[in-house]
A = this chain, B = another copy of it.
Amino acid sequence: MPLVVVGSVALDTVHTPTETRENVLGGSASYFAYAASYFTPVRLVSAVGDDWPAEFTELFRSRNIDTAGLRVVPGAKTFRWTGKYLPNMNDRQTLDVQLNVFNQFDPVLPEEFTRCQFLFLANGPPAIQLRVLEQCPGARLTVADTMDLYINHARDDLAALLKRIDGLVLNDSEAKLLTGDENLVRAGHAVREMGPRFVVIKKGEHGAMFFSKHETYVLPAYPTPNVVDPTGAGDSFGGGMMGYLAEQGDFEPKTLKEAMAYGTLAASFTVEDFSLDRLKQIEREDLDRRMQEYRRMLSF
């Protein structure tokens, strides 16, 4: 089943303790779409400026990502993010953000996209996420991501969003911030009680947790010795997870857990190089091969 993702596409400058890359392809929707494309056709909704390299659009198309919803806004500039990783490669500082074209991002989905059954609302203002949701009345599975900025400054909109979506994906510090509870097991269920049927808490190098009314579980990250750039790991997680769900066409507990595992593995490849460079080298078979190792790792 096709999967629609609405979110940011960006040009990133990334400093790691050993290297710097400037103006590489980034943005939550880029990582999400690329990771999801191993599983299902993806329809990308985003906006860029006229500084956007056409080769990046070509890269999306080469992986069956429909860019009909990627608007190039004349006279505008593409969203830019600059960040620096601490030596532990898990914590980072944002050095600069230029929202640019995202200052006015309020997408109108192509008509064909509005009939989607699987919809992912990547990180963005909850009011915008809600307006996208309203354009897709027939969606069977709607999942959103959020961040500290909106938890702190758009709490009412976020609360309204949470009552309307099936799933929320957020990271550990955001879950603590949203609930005021430092225990992630309690925090996950507290977020779930705000509306969504399921909640996923991403813990970076420590894996991800899943919460539904009847289930609580943790899956560890795949232990890769080769962490080059963690940017986009969480978005790749979302893409692998939602891509697999859309491919399977259901969201039963068993499918959701497999989807969590595929999200984990998509993220494990992403961190092995800058930008989408590692994902560009792999095929679905590589994900499946790593899945076999991952299952073996967790069985005893």
Q: Give residues in A with beta carbon < 8 Å to B.
A: 87-89, 182-186, 189, 203, 205-207, 209, 216-221, 223-225, 227, 254, 257-258, 260-261, 295, 297-300
Contacts and interface: CB of A to CB of B under 8 A. Distances in A.
A34 B182 CA distance: 28
A270 to B, nearest CB: 16
Given A299-B298, A299-B299, A300-B257, A218 B223 contact: yes
Contact of A185 (B224, B295, B298): B224
Contacts of A205: 184
B185 A223 contact: yes
Nearest to A181: B225
Given A218-B220, A223-B216, A223-B217, A89 B182 contact: yes
A300 B221 contact: no
Contact of A254 (B89, B189, B217, B300): B300
B182 A218 contact: no
Nearest to A257: B300
B299 A225 contact: no
